[in-house]
Amino acid sequence: MRLVIIGGGILGTAHAWTAIARGHSVIQLEREREARGATVRNFGLVWVSGRAPGELPLTLRSREMWEEIGGRVSGVGFRPAGSLTLVRNPAELAVAEAAAAGPTADQRGFRLLDADEVRAVNPALRGKFIAGLHCTTDAAVESRQALPALRAHMAATGRYTFHEATEARSVIDTGAGAIVVDDQGRRHEADLVIHCPGAAHSGLTRELAGELPVRRVRLQMMQTAPLGEPLTTAIADADSFRYYPGFAGPELDSLAAEQSQTAIAAEHKMQLLCVQRLHGGLTIGDTHEYDEPFTFDVDEAPYDHVTEVTEELLGRKLPRVVRRWAGVYSQSLDPNAIVTRVKADDHVWVVTGPGGRGMTLGPAIGEETIDLLGI
């Protein structure tokens, strides 16, 4: 079949990857020279540990796919580093203990470590904590280089074409298929069109699918200079328990009742996530903002908070911060929906709304869509 995929982010590229693997031909259109949205403004984490039980099978499939992709396309920078969620008091420890003893603990690769065991796994952690929840299935990819590497691999098949700086303006139903007209007047014929707009919910997205049951979420993150030593796992603090449904339960309810977040963390709905890039620097975040219109500038207070928490866990000063950024992603309003798929007509689908899970779940979401379409 001939597919036109609108959108060059992780979801669009993941759909292209599965389609190419199954022998189809793909034209992919990206309005920027390179994807600049949530696809590159993230941690590059393949995050199994906190996923809800209902989405765990899809998450584990996506983790398996990333490892397969990493074995074939070294440029994505896949590494099965795992993660440590560090706890600093008994209430936080109770949540970690419940997770490590839970029914899905083995699938997630959970193991509760004392402080000495944490330092044995990740010697860069020399700070203040009493234990750590080790998740061996968590992994990382290099979000800023993964998509160009995937596109180069697909192009080598001779069945993939990427049009950068090309905006899709309209989609015409031909009865037997569809034609995508771009902003340069070119017409791309397709048996099937898959539109992956990310957080661009207006324009062509609205024309095709109307008002989608999704919202936009804004976050802030930062990147440091090289740490100068390996951070062998990703790390998180116990505030992350509050934001991942896999940790829900009476222990988390007790934690919320006994221990509120700091004022800054609560105001910005924060958690600490930290992962080391291949160049040695640390990507650190993040915040959650849900009420639009979003501000156009970044707030310094959250950066001060994540710096303080990271330094407390590492037991050392962070290297200098070399860049800061904000990003916006699309999140399905239905908490039970992993992604929102809307059939615009017989030959056109709109797929968006993974809600900060795009890098983790992208490959499996693409595969699932192609399976659902029976191609």
pLDDT tens digits for range 300-334: 999 999 999 999 999 999 999 999 999 999 999 99
**Same-domain status, 185 and 242:** no
Structural domain range at position 233: 105-136+214-332
Residues 8 and 66 in one domain: yes
SS3 label, residue 193:
strand
Q: Do 281 and 317 lie in a common domain?
A: yes
Determine the length of the chain.
Answer: 375
Q: How far apart are CA 190 and CA 239, in angstroms?
A: 46
Are 30 and 67 members of one domain? Answer: yes
**153 C-beta neighbours (distance < 10 Å), count:** 18
pLDDT at 164: 98
Provide the CATH number for the domain around residue 171.
3.50.50.60
Domain count, the chain: 2
Instruction: List residues bridging with 25 in a β-sheet.
Output: 2
- Predicted local confidence at residue 347, as pLDDT: 97
Question: In sequence order, which ranges of the chain are alpha helices (DSSP H)?
Answer: 10-21, 56-72, 90-100, 105-108, 115-121, 143-155, 204-209, 250-258, 263-267, 300-314, 358-372
Q: What count of other Cβ atoms lies within 10 Å of the Cβ of residue 111?
A: 16
Contacts of 335 (CB under 8 A, 6+ apart): 245
- Tokens coding 231: 């951070």
Per-residue model confidence (pLDDT) at position 1: 97
Q: Tell me if 94 is assigned to some domain.
A: no
74 falls within a domain: yes
CA 277 and chain centroid, separation = 15
**In contact, 273 and 45? CB cutoff 8 Å:** yes
**Which neighbouring-strand residues pair with 173?**
178
Distance CA 152, CA 144 (A): 14
> Is the domain of 233 the same as that of 114?
yes
Domain co-membership, 237 together with 171: no
> What confidence score (pLDDT) does residue 331 get?
97
Pick the closest to residue 26 from 7, 45, 41 (CA basis).
7
Same structural domain, 146 and 218: no
In a domain, 365, yes or no: yes
CB 193, CB 3: distance < 8 Å: yes
Select from 317, 139, 321 the least CA-distant residue to 223.
321
Q: Are residues 32 and 124 in the same domain?
A: no
What is residue 73's predicted lDDT score, i.e. its pLDDT?
97
* pLDDT at residue 94, rounded to an integer: 98
How many Å separate Cα 43 from the centre of its chain?
7
* pLDDT given for residue 47 in this prediction: 97
Q: How confident is the model at residue 232 (pLDDT cuts 50, 70, 90)?
A: very high
Query: What does the DSSP 8-state code read for residue 23?
Result: T
| Angstrom distance (rounded) from CA 82 to CA 138 | 4
Same domain, 30 and 129: no
**Edge-to-edge strand order for the sheet containing 348-352?**
160-163, 25-29, 2-6, 192-195, 348-352, 340-345
Radius of gyration (C-alpha) of the chain in whole angstroms: 21
